[in-house]
Amino acid sequence: MANQKIKTNDVILQTVTQIILFIIIIFSIYLFFAGHNAPGGGFIGGLMTASAIVLLLIAFDIKTVKKIIPINYILLTSIGLMIAVLSGVGSFFYNESFLSHTFDHFHLPLLGETELATATIFDLGVYLVVIGVTMTIIQTIGETE
């Protein structure tokens, strides 16, 4: 009885989670965009975002996290796979072979001269698939009694 009573008082863990979560998610987004020229990319970016959600799951319970992030992760996985496949199919419209990517330089309003590559779209697919698969595994394990 006493253990349960003390266990419910998670103020320190929950407060720190609310602050740390943003650092983790920002760092994962940074890793996602850094993947072209530096260590990073869709895979570890997705894993890091998933780990941020897992930290939320540790600090709060599953129902609360489902209310905060109302995402069907199986659907997210399929959307990611579709984005990855479509980024390969898109090269058919330019008479190129499957998955041949291209890049160009653009002038963006805040960022200035930026190199935008279509490989980012493929990476976005990988990112979504990694988040979806990891969270599906963890939620399935967590929900079974």
Partner 1 sequence: MIVISKIVIGYLILQGALLSLISSIGIIRLPDIYTRNHAASKSATLGIISILLGVFLDFWIVEGYMNARIILGIIFVFCTAPVAGHLISRAAYNTGIPMSEKTVKDDLRAKKKRSVQ
Binding part of the chain for partner 1, among 7-15, 72-80, 94-102, 118-126 by CB under 8 A, reads 7-15
Provide the token pair at 12.
Answer: 């320190």
Nearer to partner 1, 3 or 97 (CB): 3
Nearer to partner 1, 27 or 43 (CB): 27
18 binds partner 1 (CB under 8 A): no
Scanning residues 25 to 54, which ones bind partner 1 (CB under 8 A)?
27, 30
Count how many Cα atoms sit within 13 Å of the Cα of residue 124 in the half-sphere of its side chain: 12
**Among 18, 20, 100, 117, which residue interacts with partner 1 (rule: CB under 8 A)?**
20
Q: What angle do CA 109, 114, 115 make, to 5 degrees?
A: 150
Classified as helix, coil or strand, 143 is helix
**Among 8, 19, 97, 145, which residue interacts with partner 1 (rule: CB under 8 A)?**
19
Q: Cβ 45 to partner 1, closest distance in Å? A: 14
13 binds partner 1 (CB under 8 A): yes
75 to 62, 64, 79, 142: CA distances (angstroms): 18, 20, 6, 19
2 binds partner 1 (CB under 8 A): yes
CA 41 to centroid of chain Cα atoms: 11
Contact partners, residue 69, CB within 8 Å, separation at least 6: 53, 56
141 binds partner 1 (CB under 8 A): no
For 109, other C-beta atoms within 10 Å of its C-beta total 5
DSSP code of residue 70: -
> Which residues lie near partner 1 (CB under 8 A)?
1-3, 5-7, 12-13, 16, 19-20, 23, 27, 30
